[in-house]
Amino acid sequence: MAEEISVSTVQQVIEFLGTFAFAISGIRHAAAKHFDWFGGYVCGIAVAIGGGTIRDVMLGAIPFWMTTPVYMICTAMALLVVIVFSKYMERLSNTWFVFDTLGLALFTIAGIQKSLDYSQPFWVAITMGCITGAAGGVIRDILLNNEPVIFRKEIYAMACFLGGSVYWLLAYLSMPVEITVIVSFTVTCLIRFLAVKYHLSLPVLKGIDNDDSK
C-alpha cells in the first residue's frame, strides 16, 4: 500500500513539473513569434496537455487535465513567470531548450507510469511515454507553423525511447521507483543535451530527386 501511494505521489509531482516546464517552453516559442498573452497561453496549454491527452484517450482514461484545474492553473503560472521575468529570460538564449528537455523527460516518465497503472505491457508503456513526451511539441510546432521537432535531424523522440528503456531495465531489476525515476529522467535529459551539443542525429534517409527519377 505504501509503495502504491509513493508511486502515485511521484507521478502527480512529475505531471505537475512536466506541465510547468512544457508550458514555459510553449509560451517562450509563442513569444518568439510575437503572440499576445492569450496566444501564449494557448500554445503553453497545448504543449503541456497535448501528449498526455493523446495517451489517456488511447488508454481509455479520462484525460488527466479534466480531473482537476491544477494543470490550467499551472500553465497560467508559467505564463505569469514568462511575463514577469521576460527580460531575464531573454538573456538566456537556451532557456526554452532547457525547459523543453525537462518537460520531455518528465512527461516520458509520467506516460510510462500511467500506462503501467493500466496494466499495459512495457513495450506499450514505452511507446506511450514517447507519445506523452513528444506529441505536445509536435502540436506546438504545428500551431506556430514550424517544422515539428521530431522530424528534424536532432534526437528528440529517440531520447524518450532510450530513457523509457532505462526505466524498464531498472524496473525489471526491482529498483525503488524513486531511483528508477531519477535515473530515467537523467538519462533522457543527458541524451537530449548531448545530441544537441555535439550535433548527434540518426542517419538520414536517402531519397530520389525528381530529376533522377525521370
In a domain? residue 207 = no
pLDDT 10s digits, 22-42:
898 889 889 889 999 999 999
In the prediction, which pLDDT does 3 show? 52
**Could you tell me the three cell numbers for 204?**
538520414
In a domain? residue 72 = yes
Q: Are 106 and 14 in contact (CB under 8 A)?
A: yes
Q: What is the tally of structural domains in the chain?
A: 1
Alpha carbons 80 and 139: distance in angstroms, whole number: 22
What pTM does this model have? 0.85
In the prediction, which pLDDT does 99 show? 78
Confidence of residue 152 (pLDDT cuts 50, 70, 90): confident
In a domain? residue 211 = no
Domain that holds residue 9: 2-197
Q: Is 82 left (phi over 0), alpha (psi -120 to 50) or beta?
A: alpha
In a domain? residue 203 = no
In a domain? residue 61 = yes
In the prediction, which pLDDT does 208 show? 66
Confidence of residue 164 (pLDDT cuts 50, 70, 90): very high
Who has greater pLDDT, 87 or 162?
A: 162
Average pLDDT of the chain, as a whole number: 87
- Is pLDDT above 90 for 212? no
Alpha carbons 88 and 80: distance in angstroms, whole number: 13
Convert 72-87 to b/e letters by CB count within 10 Å (16 or more is b): bebbeebbeebeeeee
In a domain? residue 106 = yes
Beta strand segments in the chain, E: none
Who has greater pLDDT, 6 or 138?
A: 138
Confidence of residue 86 (pLDDT cuts 50, 70, 90): confident
pLDDT 10s digits, 190-210:
999 999 888 888 888 887 665
In the prediction, which pLDDT does 4 show? 52
Residue type for 122, please? F
In a domain? residue 134 = yes
In a domain? residue 214 = no
